[in-house]
Structure formats: structure tokens, C-alpha cells
Amino acid sequence: MFRRRRRNEEADQSVEELDDLAELDEDEPADELEDDEALRRPLPPAPRPDGPWDESELDDPHEGRIDLGGLLVPATEGMELRVEVANDLIIAATVILEDSAVQVQAFAAPRSEGIWHEIRAEIASGITQQGGVVDELDGGLGWELRAQVPVQLPDGTQGAQLVRFVGCDGPRWFLRGVISGRAAVDPDTGAELERIFRDTVVVRGAEPMAPRDPILLRLPDNAQIDPASGVAPGGDDAGEQGRNQYGGDLNPFQRGPEITEVR
């Protein structure tokens, strides 16, 4: 089931919008028509006064952050950092703090419109088709999805994992975050993972890229790969599982190679 909660601001409509609604079929509920139109309408990227940031928006984007090439991830005391590999390419990173994690992945996007509204619908559709439950609401990072995702438990039985999908449209890029663990259900813990997402910097580059192409990452110079993870960049196992039913992106629940001794 895909349920949607609306922003309070959406109740404030202009006279022109109300005139348009008056011309609609009176037998069809106006709220449903508004929601459908909002999902279809291309929207420009919203302002980002608190981040995530484009590298051009900060005087020193590298300060206090780990350089992964396409992303500059804030360094936090006690964090672990894992990179996620698909088809021999590093395209996402996961920051782990105790029993919570946030996976961040950046994509190219059109210059004049955002794509988060489309991606939300695709993720929600993929989860509900698998028997999960999705709720769309306006959270601490704007519109997000809170989902109960079906997973197989260690004993072979079926369970559900609670997870939050967050996103941000920037200048010619889109940043997706997947928050899991305690932070997906506890607001205080979630606030720290939200801060990491907001403080991430996207390095889009000037080269032409098709919308939704992943912005590639690289390991920092001082990185060490933990062999205990059982996966290394370029491993066949990672490439085969790099795409899943949630919009073709990386599986946010698969363990990737770990960068150790970064912080």
C-alpha cells in the first residue's frame, strides 16, 4: 500500500489554480487530481539553504570531509565508511554510526527540473510490488518515503526492515539517501544521519552526462579495504547484485567493501 501525506503549504493555492480545478470533472475527487498532477509536473530543484551542497557553493568543500571523487562525505567521529560497487565501478557510499547507517548515491540530472518526485514513485512501486508498505510524507529532509521492506531473516523466515528513502535535487545532480537501522525509527538518532546527508557535497563535474547516470566515486588515497567484508572493488559478486527491484539502483541492504582507519 502506498499512502501519501501532503504538505500543509499545498493548501495555499493561487486563484489561477482554483480556476483550473473548477473546470475539472466534478465526479473526480479534487485531492486525487491535485496529487496526480503534482507527481506528473516537472519541478525545478527546490532551494537548499542547509545542504546537501554543490562543490561550487562552499569556499572549501573539502574541509572536514572525506574525498570520494564524486562525493565529499562529512567525517564524523566513530564512523565506518563502506563503498558500494557495481560492474567494477564505485557508485555509492554508506556511513555507519553504531546501529544506524545512511547510504548516499549521486546521479546526473536535468538542468531545469528535479527528478526526486519521479524516483520516489518508482521506489514506492517497486517496494509495494514486493509486498512492502510505503508511506510518503514531508520529513526533516523534505519529501521522503518510509517503508517496510520485505527481507529474508537469517532463519529463513520472512520479515520486514524499516527504512527511509530521502532525496535532494541539486544543480544538474540528484542525491539519494537510504537511512536504515535505529535512525529509521528513532527521531533523535535519525537527526544525526540527516545531518550527514545534508552536509554531503556533490562533485558533478562539467562533462555531459545522461540524466540518472551515476556520478562515479573513488577510494580516498589513505583508504584500506577490510578483507573481512568478503568483497573487493571489481568483484564479480558485487557487480551481479548491484541492481535490484527498487528503480535499478544499488541494494541498500547489501554489505559492501569497508574503508577502515579513515577516522
How confident is the model at residue 195, as a pLDDT? 96
Q: Would you say residue 250 lies in a domain?
A: yes
State pTM to two decimals. 0.74
Q: Would you say residue 40 lies in a domain?
A: no
How confident is the model at residue 140, as a pLDDT? 87
Q: Would you say residue 7 lies in a domain?
A: no
pLDDT band for position 243 (cuts 50, 70, 90): very low
Q: What is the CATH number of the domain that holds 149?
A: 3.40.1000
How confident is the model at residue 10, as a pLDDT? 40
Question: For the chain, what is the domain count?
Answer: 1
pLDDT per residue over 86-131, tens digit each?
A: 888 999 999 999 999 999 999 999 988 899 999 999 999 999 999 9
Q: In sequence order, which residues have a C-beta less than 8 Å from that of residue 38 and are 6 or more positions away?
A: 10, 117
Domain residues for 158? 53-260
If you average pLDDT over each of 1-15, 45-59, 121-135, 218-232, which comes out highest? 121-135
pLDDT per residue over 59-80, tens digit each?
A: 999 999 999 999 999 999 999 9
